[in-house]
Amino acid sequence: MSTLLNFENVTSYYGATRILKDFSFEMEQGQCLCVLGRNGVGKTTLMRTIMGLTDRSTGAIRINGAEISAKPPHVRATYGLGYVPQGRGILSDFTVRENILLGTFARADKASEIPDICLRIFPYLKENLDKRAGLLSGGQKQQLAIARALAVGPQILLLDEPTEGIQPNIVNEIGEILKMLNKELGISLILTEQHIKVARKLGDAFLMVDNGRVVARGPIAEMTDELVNRHMTI
Amino acid sequence: MDLGSLLNALILGVSIASIWLIAALGLTIIYGTAGVINMAHGEFIMLGAYSSYMLQFYLGLPYLLCLPASFVIVALVGLALERGLIRYLYNRPLDTLLATYGVSLVLMQGVRLIFGSDPKYLAVPEMFQSNVMLGSASISAFRIVVLGITAFLVFALWLLFYKTRFGVQVRAVMQNKEMAASFGINSGRIYMMTFALGAGLAGVAGALFGVLAIVLPTMGASYVVQAFLMVVVGGGSLAGSVVASGVTGEMQSVFAFFTNDTFARFIIFVLIVVFLRFRPQGLFAQAGARR
Ligand SMILES: Nc1ncnc2c1ncn2[C@@H]1O[C@H](COP(=O)(O)OP(=O)(O)OP(=O)(O)O)[C@@H](O)[C@H]1O
Ligand SMILES: [Mg+2]
C-alpha cells in the first residue's frame, strides 16, 4: 500500500485566523479515513483545505507524492478529488443532469458523458435527469452531490457529513453505498461523521480533531470509547 | 388615430427594441457573468464603429464582412483589457467601476487623437439603403438588417449558454464559483472569455450604429444609458434584457405615436424608475451567489 494523501504541518487560515493548526496525517490508497470531532473543530475546514478553498494555507499537501498546496482549486480537482461538501453545494438552477455533468469537468480523461456508475447506484436521479435540482429533497440532493463527485472519476471522495439531516433508515443505505464504493470500486474515502456507528462500520482509520489540531489517529480498532467520550461529548 | 398607424408604431417598436437590445447584449453578458459593470461599454461600441470605418476606408472590406471583423477586433481589445486590468479587480466592484470609467476616457481621447473629432460615415450596400413595406409600415431596410442580426445573436448566445459545455461552465461559475472551481472549472478563464465576448458584441453593435447614425468618438455615450437601463430592468440575464428591450421599445414607439420622441423617452425613464423602486432586482433576478 502506498501513501495517497499526506498533510505535513499544514496551517490553514480564514483571514488572519488559524483554523487548522500544524495539521499532519497521511492516508493509504484504498482506505476509508474517518475524521471525527465536535462541532466547529475544523472538520469542514480540513476538507476545504484539501480543495484549496480556504483563504491561505502553509505546509505541504501531497497527493501520490505530488505537492498540490500551491495549486488553485480547479487544478486540485483534476488530481482525482471528488468533493461532497457539507450542505451539499447543489446548483439549484441546474438540472440534475447539469449538476452531474459539472463533475466531468474535473475528469483526467476529459470525457464529457455522465459515467454509468452515477446513475446505476441512484435510480431516482436516473429517472429525473431533467428535473431542476433546486426542487429535490435533502436526501435526493445528497445523492446528487455524491453522483456529481463520482462523475469526476475520483481517486478520493471527500464526504463532509454525508448523513447529516438524513432520516435514519436512509443513513444505512448511504453507508452501504459508500462501503460499496470503497470496497468494490477501490475509491478512497475521507469521511466526516457524527454517527460513530457509521464510522466504525466503514472506517479503516480515524483522525480525531479538536480545536484545529489532530489529537489522536490510528487504525479504527484503536478508537476507544474513552477517546470518543473525551473528544466528542460536549 | 386609426388602427393602421398604431400597427405601424408597433412594428417600428420592434425595430427600436432590437437597437436597444443589441446595445445591451455585451453589457448583459459581462455583468451577468462576472458582475462587472463595464463603464467602457459605450466606448467598445464606438471602437466597433471605428473598426468598421477603418476596414472599409483603408482596406475596402465589404460592409457585411466588417461586422464579424469588428467583433474580433473589439473582442481582442476586451481581452487585453481584462487580462491587463479587470482581472485584478473582480472582488472590488467599486474599483472596476472607476477603472472601466478611466478606460472609457482613454479610449475616447485616443480615438479623437487618431481620427479627429469630425464625423465619419459607414457605407452600406445599395440594397440596405431603400425602404421596405412591412404591413403598411415603411421601414428602412437597414433596420431590418439590425433586427435580423440581433435575433441571430440572441439565438447564438442562447445556444452557447444553454447547449454547450462552455455554457455549462459559465452558468456554473455564475451560480457558485466555489463549487465550479471544486469541479475543475477555471473561473478566471471563464471571466476572461465572457469579457471578450461581451466586448465583441459591443463591437458588432458599433458597426451597426455607425450606419444608423454617424461615427464620432463620443457616440458611445448616446447608447450606453439605454443599454444600462435594459440590463438593470432585465436583472442581468439574457432573457431579462430581451424582454426589457422588447417592452420599452414598444412603449417608446407607441408613446411617441401619441406624443413625440422626447416626451416618450421621458415617460419611459420615469416608468423605469418607478419599476425599479418596486423591483430593484429587475425582471428576472439571477439566483445564486456570485462570489
Ligand atoms: N468562512 C469562514 N470564515 C471564518 N471562519 C470560519 C469560516 N468557516 C469556518 N470558520 C471557523 O472555523 C472553525 C471551524 O469550522 P468548521 O466548519 O471547519 O467546523 P466543523 O468541524 O466542520 O463543524 P461542524 O461539525 O459544525 O460542521 C469554526 O470556529 C468556524 O467559526
Ligand atoms: Mg463541518
3-state secondary structure B182-230: HCCCCHHHHHHHHHHHHHHHHHHHHHHHHHHCCECCCCHHHHHHHHHHH
Nearest to B278 by CA among B215, B226, B241, B233: B233
Distance from the alpha carbon of residue A41 to the mean position of ligand 1, in angstroms: 7
pLDDT in tens, B166-179: 999 999 999 999 99
Mean pLDDT check: name the lowest of B1-10, B23-32, B154-163, B192-201: B1-10
More confident residue, B128 or B163: B163
Count Cβ atoms below 10 Å from residue B253 Cβ, excluding itself: 22
Alpha carbon distance B75, B97 (integer Å):
19
pLDDT in tens, A177-214: 999 999 999 999 999 987 888 888 889 999 999 999 99
Alpha carbon distance A175, A38 (integer Å):
21
Alpha carbon distance A68, B41 (integer Å):
39
Would the pLDDT of B44 be above 50?
Answer: yes
Q: Least CB-CB distance to B182: which of A51, A94, A107?
A: A51
- Cβ of A19 closer than 6 Å to ligand 1, yes or no, is yes
Q: Please tell me whether residue B54 adopts helix, strand or coil conformation.
A: helix
Predicted ipTM?
Answer: 0.93
Nearest to B176 by CA among A79, A85, A110, A15: A85
pLDDT in tens, B218-255: 999 889 988 999 999 998 889 999 999 999 999 988 88
Chain A residues inside the 8 Å CB shell of B287: 92-93
Q: What is the mean pLDDT of residues B111-133?
A: 89
Alpha carbon distance A27, A6 (integer Å):
6
Would the pLDDT of A74 be above 50?
Answer: yes
Give me the amino acid identity at A33.
L
pLDDT in tens, A57-71: 999 999 999 999 999
Is-contact B12 B143, C-beta < 8 A? no
C-beta atoms of A51 and B287 within 8 A: no
Nearest to B119 by CA among B223, B219, B224: B219
Query: What is the residue extent of each domain of chain A?
Result: 90-152
Is-contact B74 B210, C-beta < 8 A? no
More confident residue, A155 or B12: A155
Q: Please tell me whether residue B272 adopts helix, strand or coil conformation.
A: helix
More confident residue, B126 or B70: B70
pLDDT at B291: 37
pLDDT at A1: 60
Which of ligand 1's atoms lies nearest the C-alpha of A41? 21
Would the pLDDT of B148 be above 90?
Answer: yes
Sign of CA dihedral B224, B229, B230, B236: positive
Q: Least CB-CB distance to A77: which of B171, B176, B183?
A: B183
Which residue in B182, B191, B238 has the most chain A C-beta atoms within 10 A of its own C-beta, making it the best mutation to test that interface? B182
Which of ligand 1's atoms lies nearest the C-alpha of A161? 27
Q: Which residue is listed with cell 477555471?
A: B186
Q: In what order do the strands lie in the sheet with A3-14?
A: A17-28, A3-14, A56-63, A66-67
Would the pLDDT of B209 be above 60?
Answer: yes
Give me the amino acid identity at A126.
K
Q: How large a percentage of chain B has pLDDT more than 70?
A: 97
- Cβ of A42 closer than 6 Å to ligand 1, yes or no, is yes
Would the pLDDT of A172 be above 50?
Answer: yes
How many degrees, rounded to 5, is the angle at CA B199 between CA B196 and CA B203? 130
Nearest to A178 by CA among A150, A209, A207, A151: A150
**pLDDT-derived band at A30, boundaries 50, 70, 90:** very high
Alpha carbon distance B169, B154 (integer Å):
19
pLDDT in tens, A47-60: 999 999 999 999 99
